[in-house]
Amino acid sequence: MLGVGQIDPAAPAVRADDLGFSRGDGCFEATRVVTSPDGQHRIDHLDEHFDRFDSSCAGLDLPPIDRPAWLELIGQLLAGWTLPGEAMLRMLLSRGREWDLPAGVTGVATLVPTSPETLRQRRDGVHAITLRRGFTADAFAEAHWLLGGVKTLSYAVNMAAIREAERRGADDVIFVSTDGVVLEAPTASVVWATDRTLRTTPVGPTGILPGTTQQLLFDRAAEAGWTTETGTARVDDLHAADTVWLISSVRGPVDVVELDGKGRSRDLPVLAEIARFAGFPPAAQ
C-alpha cells in the first residue's frame, strides 16, 4: 500500500507486522524541498532519487517503484505544505506486511522542516571522528546479499555511530574499512579536495552508497574545470587534503573542520564554490 493521502503525524500509519518495522526490510530516499514565500515548491533532483530508489529496490528483490503513485503521494504532501524555506522529504518503502497475503509494498512519505542543527553544520562545518565499519574495503564484491549500495531501512549501526560521535563531542563519523580505507559517513558521502581535484571513494566492492548530490557536484565541478576522481584514501590522505566534506541531499556539502581531534583550516572561497555547484548556500558567511 502506497500511502493513504495526508494523515495526522500523531496517527499510526504502519501495521505492526510490517517488515519495514520488524526487519528494517526496505529502502528509502531523502531529498530537499525548497518552498518559496508564495508557496511554490521545488524538489531537488527527484528523478535521480527515483533512479537510486529503483536501484535499491532491485538490490532487495523488490519491483521498481511506482513513480506515478509516488508523485501523487508527494503532491498530496506538498499541497498541505506552505512553510517557506527548506524541508526534508523522505520516501520510505518496505517489503510490506508479513502476515497479510497477497503481500504488497508499503510506501510512506514524510516532510519536515530542515533542522536548525543541519543549518548550523552548513554554516560552521562539522567535527568528525573516524570509526571502523568492520568490513574490508572489498567485502561487497560478489556478495549482493550484503546489500552494498542499497539505501536500506536497516540503519541501526549508522545511528549508533552518530551517537558514538556525539559521546566523543563530535558531530559525525567517517567510516573506515578494517584495512584502513575511507568509506562514507553514516548518512553522507565523503569528498576531499587537494588543489582543484575532487576525490571520493568508489562504489561497488566497498559497499558504499552512490551519492546523488556527490555525483551532481562532481558533474558541475568537472564542467567548471575541476578534476574529479574516484579512488581509495586512508585517513592520513584526508588529513593531508585541503578540504574534506560530508555531502548529502538534505544537508548539502558540510566541511569537516575537525577530524579525530585535529583542527582543519577552512578555505572559504573553495567552500562557497563547492556549495554553489551542489546547489546550496555558501558555508561560513
Considering only residues 33, 46, 60, 257, which one is a binding residue for its own copies as defined by CB under 8 A? Answer: 60
Contact 118, 38 (CB under 8 A): no
Considering only residues 2, 25, 174, 274, which one is a binding residue for its own copies as defined by CB under 8 A? Answer: 25
Rounded least distance, CB 136 to its own copies, Å: 6
Interface mask toward its own copies for 110-129; x: CB under 8 A: x-x-----------------
Look-up: residue for cell 568508489?
A: 202
> Is the Cβ of residue 144 or residue 239 nearer to its own copies in the bound state?
144
Residue 81 and residue 103: Cα distance in Å, rounded?
Answer: 32
Q: What are phi and psi of 62, to 5 degrees?
A: -105, 155
Look-up: residue for cell 549482493?
A: 144
Query: CB count, 10 Å around CB of 1?
Result: 15
168 binds its own copies (CB under 8 A): no
Closest by Cα among 254, 256, 274, 278 to 265? 256
Helical pair 268-278 and 212-223, crossing angle rounded to 10 deg: 110
DSSP 210: P
> Is the Cβ of residue 30 or residue 275 nearer to its own copies in the bound state?
30
Closest by Cα among 118, 122, 149 to 135? 149
- Please report, as residue ranges, which positions from 238 to 267 form the binding site for its own copies (by CB under 8 A): none
Interface mask toward its own copies for 28-57; x: CB under 8 A: x-----------------------------
Binding residue count for its own copies, defined by CB under 8 A: 60
Interface residues with its own copies (CB under 8 A) are 7, 9-26, 28, 59-61, 90, 92, 94-95, 99-100, 108, 110, 112, 131-136, 139-140, 143-147, 150, 152-161, 163-164, 178, 207
